[in-house]
Chain A
Amino acid sequence: MSSDTVTKTEPNYFEVSRGLKSWLFTLDHKRIGLMYLFGILGALLLGGAFALLVRIELFTPGETIVGKDWYNKFFTLHGAVMVFLVIIPGIPAALGNMILPIQLGAPDVAFPRLNLASFYLWCAGATLLLVAVALGGIDTGWTFYTPYSLETKTAVIPAVCGAFVLGFSSIFTGLNFLVTIHKFRPQQMGWFQMPLNLWALYATAIMQVLATPVLGITLLLLFLERFMHIGIFDPNMGGDPVLFQHFFWFYSHPAVYIMILPAMGVVSELITTFSRKPLFGYRFVAYSSLSLALLSFLVWGHHMFVSGQSKLANMVFSALTFSVAIPSAIKVFNWTSTLYKGDIRLQTPMLYALSFLVMFTIGGLTGIFLAVLSIDVQLHDTYFVVAHFHYVMMGSTLIAFMGALHYWWPKMSGRMYPEKLGQLVAVGVFIGFNLTFLPQFVMGSRGMPRRYWDYDPEYTIFHQLSTIGAFVLGLSLFTVVCYLMWSFKYGKKAPKNPWGGTTLEWEAPTPPTLYNFPEPPELPEIYNYDDLVEDEVNGGFVRKPSTTPKDAGHGGH
């Protein structure tokens, strides 16, 4: 128990240095992760505000609060902010940064300076998007489809530059994580002793590094086309506007998996910890992360079934799209089976994990409708698609992000959030989310096109339910941000292992010291919950005094 005495003497990562400069120039992955987190929560509020403006405008047919041009800007900004600033960096850059090195027992990521650079690139990209907002916004949709994006007078250039710079931020993070997992993994931790969270971050990092450059190329071409009229996308100069869609989705489809895979990783951790059971079918789950990463590169054409793409291409992309369903289904079955014979604790992170399971199931099953070619012709570009991808990107990824945030909040802040309020709000998020998006499936299959400022009267009831749901959801998420900020200062002090997790971050002091572990940690047996008992006095869990972590007789590393 020598580590406990050391913990008391060594300052944690907040105390080790003070002052603004010590944060702005920090190379500590935890501080960078925390700065990312605050930035992302800020962007989440901004993107959420745009979402609510969209939903208010759609409360009635015709004009409710704003005219068409403002509405078009609102949904564009909502999409761009949420995709590029919140969901893509959300789990990897903020929470992954914080947790990945600690889960490896490492003092930091492999390239701390690159890590800080990635954060400043995120800030630069966010600033450019804000410049686009300040210059009157942008109205192309987050997809920047040509030729509309070539001729609109709105602030396309700053927004495109912003997305371009954010791409590099994402590549830097991915590169860093790949090297860190390869090189900083302790000798005793084989690939199949890795926490599933790390498998997911690894698969994500591969996609970030391989797919994001294509986004950069595409946006650069768009930039050149607007400024120098090189004639690649502009049909009036012999260019091909549909080629842009191929380029765009070649990145943006893998990007969907950049968003969802880390969510699957954290949900794997949450479900095993709060069931007090090892994850059922660990290897299947690990392999399905990798296979999703691979398959995600091969399905971009399913965004273009009615674009004029050839029938043969449509057939191939439809078939490949179905193949994505299989690893996804495997994961759902494995997560559900993990609950069997467990000791399930419904604390806030677990409530989010179970919400994720339900909503990911809906998101996945509605994806089947869209993969069936002849059904997709009817559903493409309607609210059915809007609802489907919100179930995946928000109902799954953002909900998992919320679960992960609550799970690791005590470790990163050293404080507990208010548990009862947390549970209540998690239920609010679940109800609000479903009320927002379930009606959208129905109006979509009945023919309501997306990106419409005005709509025909028979869709009114669905839009109104959706708007009410959006407010329940918005209010709930806002409450989360508020109580987390509150608990940062006033929350109860967190124990070292509040949930009884078996991965290495729970062996580190709370909050961790500058290099995470005062002395090299011994590697616990992953997902073995037998050695942990509840600590009646301080809350949380401690190792049974008789059983020190199994370390197979090694003398540290």
Chain B
Amino acid sequence: MVGDIKDHHYTYSGDYWLPPAASTGADGPDMLFRAVLGLSAFFFFGVTGAIIYLVVKYRHRPGHKAEPSPAHNDALEITWTVIPTIICVILFVYGWRSYLSNVTIPEPRAENVVYVEAQKWSWNFRYYNGLEDNALHAPVNQPMKLVMTSKDVLHSFFVPVFRVKQDVVPRRYSYAWFYPTKPGIYRIYCTEYCGTDHSQMKTKIVVHETGDYERYLSEAYAKKRQLSGAPLGANVFTKKGCVGCHSIDGTPKIGPTWKGSYGADVSLEGGGTVKVDEAYIRSSILNPQGQLHKGYPPSMPLTPLSDKEIEGVIAYIQSLK
């Protein structure tokens, strides 16, 4: 299970330039990266070497004078136009081919399709069996397809070890896929600037050994179905993105903290006060912009929760004294 899987968060080996590769999609870009790096090193040291040599040799000093030399040389200039052109054509073709193979999505089995919803500043992954989680799970050595959308602004899904990146756009589906080759836990970043907590919008992907993926999903789903009351609320808090903007320890974030909020009187944007009770919590979830807590931006997205989950959240908030 997840416990045995090595956490690669901090064990960054790879080579100097690139993080370790954990998917088949890394092969093409990594090979090209090294090729371009080699070419760049060649041209860079060639040009700087020539500059240093010429500057030292022809530096101004007593008795030294500029000597006449041709002001142009068509053969030479055509040569150094044609050679870079050939190199560029080759690089373009290889880059295009490896890109194409990396974005041509094989149709995976239904279990390996995950719906992804990005919102400020969390990720929500919905699996075939109805489980929702803020971490991405995937089986090793099988293609995995993501169907992604955003609830608010642009985000971008980036897994450095897979060499996968795709912008996530509101009201539109975009797709990503990968074929993991090594079990482990890896990082997911948001790479399209999305406001205050952009740098906190990260999560992990767990690549399971063969067979463990399905087992994990069904166990997690069963476990969650058994939950009710405050434990379910705590689960919703982390898994559905509430944690992005609310705290449970009293620190104010983008939204008010949940700690000690039950029973408190809050002043509303536009005047008036309201007591935080079951009804206020429920209406804040179902209609986030309805009664705004004064001093907080109207940035809470609508997050569909079942009645049982709403009751869980109420119980959880009540428990945070």
Contact = CB atoms under 8 A, between A and B. Distances in A.
Interface of A: 68-69, 72, 139-141, 145, 147-148, 151-153, 235-236, 241-242, 275-284, 306-308, 311, 314-315, 318-319, 322-323, 325-326, 329-330, 332-334, 336-337, 339-346, 354, 357-358, 361-362, 365-366, 368-369, 371-375, 377-378, 380-382, 442, 445-447, 449-458, 527, 529
Contacts of B190: 449
Q: Which 8 A-B pairs have the closest CB atoms?
A: A447-B160, A372-B95, A373-B99, A452-B199, A339-B54, A365-B40, A343-B66, A322-B88
B58 A275 contact: yes
B33 A445 contact: yes
A336 B52 CA distance: 10
A214 B226 CA distance: 58
A152 B72 CA distance: 55
Given A277-B66, A326-B84, A458-B10, A344 B58 contact: yes
B134 interface: no
B113 interface: no
Interface of B: prevailing SS: mixed
B12 interface: yes
A348 B49 CA distance: 21
Interface string B199-211: 1100000000000
B95 A381 contact: no
B103 A322 contact: no
B39 A139 contact: no
Interface residues of B, number: 86
A455 B81 contact: no
Contacts of A344: 54-55, 58-60
Given A361-B43, A365-B43, A446 B160 contact: yes
Given A235-B172, A280-B72, A284-B72, A308 B44 contact: no
Most buried by B among A366, A451, A527: A451
Contacts, number: 257
Contacts of B91: 322, 368, 371-372
A365 B44 contact: yes
B301 to A, nearest CB: 11
B88 A326 contact: yes
Interface of B: 9-10, 12, 14, 16-19, 28-29, 32-33, 36-37, 39-40, 43-44, 47-48, 50-51, 54-55, 58-60, 64-69, 71-73, 76-77, 80-81, 84-85, 88-89, 91-92, 94-96, 98-100, 102-103, 152-154, 156, 158, 160-161, 163-167, 169-172, 174, 187, 189-200, 297, 299
B17 A362 contact: no
Q: Indicate the member of A68, A145, A306, A446 with the most B CB atoms within 10 Å.
A: A306
Given A333-B80, A336-B51, 16 more contacts: A68-B197, A140-B193, A145-B193, A147-B170, A153-B297, A306-B166, A308-B174, A325-B88, A326-B85, A334-B77, A344-B54, A365-B44, A378-B18, A445-B18, A447-B189, A457-B10
